[in-house]
Amino acid sequence: MHIHILGICGTFMGGIAAIARAAGHTVTGCDANVYPPMSDQLRALGIDLIEGFDASQADIKADIFVVGNVVTRGNPLMETLLERGLPYTSGPQWLADTVLRDKWVLAVAGTHGKTTTSAMLAWILDDARMRPGFLIGGVPQNFEVSARLTDTPFFVIEADEYDTAFFDKRSKFVHYRPRTVILNNLEYDHADIFPDLAAIETQFHHLVRTVPGNGLIVANGADTNLERVLTRGCWTPVERFGATSTNGSDGWTAGEADAQGSFDVFFNGTLQGRVKWELIGEHNRMNALAAIAAARHAGVPAATAIDALSRFENVKRRMEIRGAVHGITVYDDFAHHPTAIATTVEGLRAKIGKSRILAVLEPRSNTMKLGVMKAQLPGSLTEADQVYCYGANLGWDPAEALAPLGDKACVFDNLDKLVAQLVADARPGDHVLMMSNGGFGGIHAKLLDALHHHYHEEIVLTPMHRYGGYA
């Protein structure tokens, strides 16, 4: 079958392309911006890419056109497909119909932690020789690819609540029909498509409705929004996880982490083992509990899962150390929601003690661009010593929003000036934490290069440390 994918260079649609190619299909695709690294990954798989959405692509005689949610009405190729009555479907629907139908699907949902928890779960199953397929919204270091297809029954998927396509406004995750589902947490996000928290809760309840009675829901017992979702109706056993006793029963709990990040795991008050790793933050302990519980449902003993996590290498762009110059360490992290920003900064603070944190933020997500959560930003950055915000192309005033932070916050609409200020301010022992859900204009390499020239030192490029960010 020949599949032509519209919006192929996004992480999710690129994963669909890789899976379709592995399944033996002929795959081509197009996007508005065809650029590395996704373009290189796809071409390495033998997938031909076309720049743009010109209507002539309707003549390539694809058996079906798979449409990403980046495509809207008015797109010239989509308009031609509609006019000619050519077959099309969404990425989630194609995946459900052709790949997931006969699989034991383990889905990871939540506002935060989906990527990291999915990577943990896939790694636990793989380490237990269960060889799962997976589709994850990031690149796990243990696999170095974001998607793969195997001939085993198991498939781990990052279950996103974002809408499916312009013609299907349900959340992506309602298509996956998981047997095992993790509900990590639930907050208001995606203000461009959801009017309020209640609308997101409704979509999460649609997901709950799809889980069979012989399945398992692994839910954050400390999240009142998730509890509200479950009280709307639940037909599946639930195991809860949390830092302490959860919802009136012990469930899965974590002991306090030591200085290296290792911690004990308990189930119903009984010690299951100790996770020995270097990831930081309570959020990663919660991610681990959820992954251990879900893997146990699929047949992996808790002790085996705990041992596997000692070899978990995290995900790219989750507190990834990009380099160090003259004792100044530069990190890249995907955090963009205020809760994720706060947790990432707090986790780094716990790791480095009293050393200075220079937090550099690009409010780039659709929700942040709309300014819906601008009032929460100052509180999310209180643990940082200095705050730098790149505020170009925003519909609100970041300087006004960050005013409660006083003199420790500054705003720039020019990336080069921001880099120059960082070079002037940073001193040996500092930790520069870059946070954005985009490429941030290549600021990491620009800063490292500028520091190199300033101090006349070679950049020390460091393999990614296993210090976990939120997502």
pLDDT tens-place string over residues 155-200: 999 999 989 999 999 999 999 999 999 999 998 777 677 888 899 9
Shared-domain flag, residues 366 and 424: yes
pLDDT in the model for residue 145:
85
Shared-domain flag, residues 303 and 328: no
pLDDT band at residue 248 under the 50/70/90 scheme: very low
Asked whether residue 471 carries a pLDDT value surpassing 50, the answer given is: no
pLDDT in the model for residue 246:
47
Shared-domain flag, residues 119 and 18: no
Asked whether residue 463 carries a pLDDT value surpassing 50, the answer given is: no
The CB density around residue 426, as the number of other CB atoms within 10 Å, is: 25
Shared-domain flag, residues 75 and 115: no
Pick from 33, 60, 90: which residue ends a domain? Answer: 90
pLDDT in the model for residue 460:
58
68 lies in some domain = yes
Q: How far apart are CA 290 and CA 257, in angstroms?
A: 17
Asked whether residue 413 carries a pLDDT value surpassing 90, the answer given is: no
pTM listed for this prediction = 0.79
pLDDT in the model for residue 40:
78
pLDDT in the model for residue 466:
38
Beta strands in 276-363 (DSSP E): 320-325, 328-333, 357-361
Q: 256, 272 in Cβ contact below 8 A?
A: no
Pick from 33, 65, 90: which residue ends a domain? Answer: 90
Q: 240, 253 in Cβ contact below 8 A?
A: no
How many separate domains does the chain show?
Answer: 3
Q: How far apart are CA 13 and CA 91, in angstroms?
A: 7
Q: Where are the alpha helices (DSSP H) in 23-103?
A: 38-44, 76-84, 91-95
Q: Which residue has the higher pLDDT, 157 or 421?
A: 157
Asked whether residue 459 carries a pLDDT value surpassing 70, the answer given is: no
Of the listed ranges 168-172, 290-294, 394-398, the least confidently predicted one is: 394-398
Query: Which whole number is the average pLDDT over 352-373?
Result: 81
Q: How far apart are CA 195 and CA 234, in angstroms?
A: 25
Q: What percent of the chain is modeled with pLDDT above 70?
A: 93
Tokens encoding 428:
């040996």
Q: How far apart are CA 334 and CA 316, in angstroms?
A: 9
pLDDT band at residue 273 under the 50/70/90 scheme: very high
Shared-domain flag, residues 343 and 449: yes
296 lies in some domain = yes
How far apart, in Å, are the Cα atoms of 388 and each of 98, 264, 384? 46, 37, 10
Q: How far apart are CA 302 and CA 290, in angstroms?
A: 11
The CATH number given to whatever domain includes residue 324 is 3.90.190.20
Query: Which whole number is the average pLDDT over 382-392?
Result: 87
Of the listed ranges 366-375, 403-412, 453-462, the least confidently predicted one is: 453-462
Pick from 309, 333, 363: which residue ends a domain? Answer: 309
**Which one, of 426, 435, 439, lies nearest residue 360 by Cα?**
435
Q: How far apart are CA 298 and CA 302, in angstroms?
A: 11
465 lies in some domain = no
- Give pLDDT tens digits for 206-215: 999 999 999 9
pLDDT band at residue 36 under the 50/70/90 scheme: low
Asked whether residue 367 carries a pLDDT value surpassing 90, the answer given is: no
95 lies in some domain = no
Sequence-separated (6 or more) residues with CB below 8 Å from residue 231? none
Shared-domain flag, residues 297 and 348: no
Asked whether residue 462 carries a pLDDT value surpassing 60, the answer given is: no
Q: How far apart are CA 210 and CA 233, in angstroms?
A: 11
pLDDT in the model for residue 221:
92
Burial of 198 (0-12, 13-18, 19+ CB in 10 A): exposed
**Containing structural domain, residue 345:** 320-455
Query: Which whole number is the average pLDDT over 47-68?
Result: 95
Across all residues in the chain, what is the average pLDDT?
Answer: 88
Asked whether residue 343 carries a pLDDT value surpassing 90, the answer given is: no
Shared-domain flag, residues 302 and 409: no
Q: Which residue has the higher pLDDT, 145 or 469?
A: 145
Shared-domain flag, residues 285 and 330: no
How far apart, in Å, are the Cα atoms of 444 and each of 62, 331, 389? 40, 8, 14
Residue 460 DSSP symbol: B
Q: How far apart are CA 30 and CA 38, in angstroms?
A: 12
pLDDT in the model for residue 35:
64
314 lies in some domain = no
Asked whether residue 409 carries a pLDDT value surpassing 70, the answer given is: yes
The CB density around residue 442, as the number of other CB atoms within 10 Å, is: 10
The CATH number given to whatever domain includes residue 33 is 3.40.50.720
Asked whether residue 25 carries a pLDDT value surpassing 60, the answer given is: yes
Query: Which whole number is the average pLDDT over 373-395?
Result: 84
pLDDT in the model for residue 11:
84
Asked whether residue 260 carries a pLDDT value surpassing 90, the answer given is: no
Q: How far apart are CA 174 and CA 96, in angstroms?
A: 10
| Residue labelled with tokens 């037909």 | 235
Q: 259, 270 in Cβ contact below 8 A?
A: no
Query: Which whole number is the average pLDDT over 355-366?
Result: 85
Shared-domain flag, residues 169 and 288: yes
Asked whether residue 95 carries a pLDDT value surpassing 60, the answer given is: yes
Q: How far apart are CA 390 and CA 148, in angstroms?
A: 36
147 lies in some domain = yes
**Which one, of 448, 231, 232, 428, lies nearest residue 323 by Cα?**
448
Pick from 212-216, 275-279, 313-317, 467-471 the range whose average pLDDT is largest.
212-216
432 lies in some domain = yes
Shared-domain flag, residues 332 and 242: no
pLDDT band at residue 256 under the 50/70/90 scheme: confident
The CB density around residue 232, as the number of other CB atoms within 10 Å, is: 12
Tokens encoding 93:
């629907």
pLDDT in the model for residue 245:
46
Asked whether residue 59 carries a pLDDT value surpassing 60, the answer given is: yes
pLDDT band at residue 270 under the 50/70/90 scheme: very high
182 lies in some domain = yes
The CATH number given to whatever domain includes residue 231 is 3.40.1190.10
pLDDT in the model for residue 191:
67
**Which one, of 372, 36, 58, lies nearest residue 190 by Cα?**
372
Shared-domain flag, residues 72 and 113: no
Shared-domain flag, residues 221 and 304: yes
